[in-house]
Amino acid sequence: MIEPWLLERLVCPATRTRLRHDEAAQELLSEEGGLAYPIRDGVPVLLVEHARRLG
């Protein structure tokens, strides 16, 4: 679970836009960038090279 105060501060490193938390998939989604960043062991991995492209 990502704390709400932290989620408000996190942005996509590629687009600098806000991220949306997908709890079921354990990802942070960048709608504008079309990327999904994984959350591993409760830690967001905000590296573009580790992101998954959204369909």
Question: What's the pLDDT score for residue 51?
Answer: 98
Contacts 24+ apart (CB under 8 A), 23-29: 27/52, 28/2, 29/54
41/49 Cα distance (integer angstroms): 18
pLDDT in tens, 28-45: 999 999 999 999 999 999
**Fold topology of 4-53:** N-terminal domain of TfIIb (2.20.25)
Number of CB atoms found within 10 A of residue 33's CB = 19
Check pLDDT > 90 for residue 52.
yes
pLDDT in tens, 2-21: 899 999 999 999 999 999 99
Check pLDDT > 90 for residue 27.
yes
pTM, two decimals, is 0.92
Check pLDDT > 90 for residue 54.
yes
